Chains A and B, each alone.
Chain A
Amino acid sequence: MLLSVRDLIVRFRTHDGTVYAVNGVSFDLEEGETLGLVGESGCGKSVTNLAVMRLLPQPAGHIENGQVLFNTEDLTKLPEASMRELRGRDIAMIFQDPMTSLNPVLTIEEQMVETIQAHRRVSSVDARARAIELLGMVGIPEPAGRLRNYPHQFSGGMRQRVMIAMALALEPQLLIADEPTTALDVTIQAQVLELLQRLTKERGTAVILITHDLGVVAGMTGRINVMYAGFIVEAATTPELFAKPRHPYTVGLLHSIPRVDAGPEEALIPIEGVPPDLRVAPVGCPFAPRCAWRMARCWTENPSLGPLEPGTTVRTSGPEATHRVACWNPPTADEAAAGAPQRPGFAPAEPPEAAGRVAAGPGANRLAASPESARDR
């Protein structure tokens, strides 16, 4: 196992109180495997990976609990100096915005040579030759001349290519790509993704691809973890997840993206409500307030991630990974296809009275509009 994250809990201490960013996330990654981490903004997908790299914003962010085993070594216990050696060499990162993740006052050459020399004892001449080779590899024309340019002289797509070249400079075992194409034009997105896929496959680099775009992970990854409010709510291989989504949130995500092959009657179904406030300690299932399938126990008990059929032997990684879901009342295949519960007489459970989180749910609107509260005002 290349990477094994166990019960990772990340909290931020802020002036507004504690932010429950990641609430016990576990996942595995084999050598050369590609894993997609999907979820909406603020669901903890980036924070999970910053925690793996131990790059959480200081002093607010810290790992409260859990292990990050990289080649059986627990990164959470590694001294900072060893961690620094590991960053870039064994685990590399690509960030969302190529416009801001390159230093504007240094040439591409200075930045690439610096990265190479930070980890390898090579002369500047050799490092430069390697940088030219890398730029050529990511498809930048005239690499020797471009090396002397500053970041502002490159277009967005070209800068992301430079970032990919820098990330792969030391042949890392794991590449974490945090929304690598979100800031790019759609046409450039495809090129950059194709490049990323080809280069990592050639080198056998494992990839964690963080994105909110299901279209991006569909073609890029072998396996997908869906995250919501700091929890992994569904984990499956990519074909399995798209064919048989079993968590109401995944179902909602798939129904909220327009499809070219959709029939004229098929409407987009938005996910009602807003993500929970992460400053409130999670009680029950985090998705319950927005869920059409919720039952009474969803308000009070948070389901853990488990196999669809209880008792199955669970495989946590690889192409044969078990389809797991964290839900008390998973939608059936028909319901998943329709995007709404189909059982006769089923209504989503009302939130328990006087619970602290009622205000966050869609039920809050109904309560506010009730005659009693109107009279009170």
Chain B
Amino acid sequence: MKKIIFLFSTLSISFLGFSQEVNFGEIHGDFDLNMQSYQEDNLIGAEPADEIILNNAYLNINYTKGDFSAGLRYESYLNALSDFDDDYKGNGIPFRYATYTIDGLEVTAGNYYEQIGSGLIFRSYENKGLGVDNAMDGVRLKYSPVKGVYLKTFIGKSRTYFTYSDGIIRGADGEVNLNEALNFNSKTKIIIGQGIVSRFQLDNNPKFKLPQNVAAYSSRLNIINGGWNYSGEYAIKLNDPIGSLTSEGNNYANGNALMSSLTYSQRGFGIVAEMHRVDHMEFRSERAQEKQYIINYIPTLTKQHTYTLLALNPCATQPEGEFGTQLDIFYKIKKGTILGGKYGTKISFNFSRISALNGGNSFLNDNTEHTPMLISIKGEELYFNDINLEIYKKINKKIKVTGVLAKQAYNKDVLEGKTPGTYGTVNSTIAIADISYKIKKGHTVRVELQELLADGGDGSWSMGLIEYTISPHWFFAAQDMYNWGNHDVKKQLHYVNINCGFLSGSNRFSIGYGKKRAGIFCVGGVCKEVPSSNGFSLTISSSF
């Protein structure tokens, strides 16, 4: 730590003391601060914070000179925001690295993020919104021996909070662009890839045999021809029991996952058909640990909605077992037609369905063996269903309108990890109107009206939002979510939020006040439970 501070101090002094004509490289950085006060609100179940104010802050500093770069991230949780795990506590520099490239070989030592394929067997990443950061600490090499061939290998330990897992993670990946590698020109481009990851952890179980080296493999294929694009990936994770002392606690079955996606696109039209099947594929950096130790990623197969009520009941990927299909169609009605009008009309249709595997995920121990059918949709427990239609229309130079209609089914028990039968499935119908009106140059007002009609869960909701933007510096927003259909009359509450922000150059300031409901927040199928809260918030971001 002292050495790192010394390094950066030396570099900074060097900048001040020498002529600008000498290239000493560049330093860039960015800063984020999220501060929130927490006041008690018994109606929504919001608890006060003993500290009154909680705070997360991050500072990234990166130094680059030619093919060399180094950097660090300072993180401060004093104490962490209430929707973060308590284990994020205190200050530290949990991320630091140095990397250089020479003759096609890239060497990184320290912390790094990495992914193999789409992440089915390994993904190291950070998402501040989710409170996820499983950065690796170790060594990574990347090398391209010939054109079109890309190799990488790494070894390290995976971060959880401010500590690193017991498991040692090793991985290697090779990707070949056949057109480039074999140097032939063709309309059809083919890329193949193969990855492997292995986790080492000592077998400390006195009662059951455990594999000390747990491996996962994946093969992927990408074929591109004109507007067509096919990508597929198949992964296997070998036996990975958690190391329980009870027989039923140890599952020795191999896991597997298949993803397949076919896309066709041309100007004004696009269609994507996807499926995936996931069976016992959760991979953790340490045996017998919790979800904060997950080191792989199963991409969600549902549309990632941005409108609040459409995203009220999001689909969390079930890495232990699910079968999903999705169809996404985009079409733009041409300008000058009856439906297209002067500017054209954009239409998006999306359908997705996620259900359980037949009889649950694969399971194997001394007493039980189960392998679900490869494909079985009819009669299987529904996890999530979403059918939605979105139309975007520019009426004239001042008015733009977006309308969305959706029907969703949300298995609250499964997707939120509740006891079966507690809530059941929430069926909802959702309508959205989003109208943007340009008052004059630089002044725009936008209004969202949202309605969700549901027969279960928290019942029906209405939402209204008004946003006024004075570009390029100011924005003001106010919104109200009203849970008028809650079956518990005491919980038919308003959740009002107001926000305003100021942007100046590379700095952005935002303050707000409001109530947040307890719920599920997801990014790409990775979800976390968010507690209700009531208070002021301050956000500052800056970069240089």
Are A and B subunits of one complex?
Answer: no
Using CB atoms and an 8 Å cutoff, list the residues of chain A in contact with chain B. Answer: none
Using CB atoms and an 8 Å cutoff, list the residues of chain B in contact with chain A. Answer: none
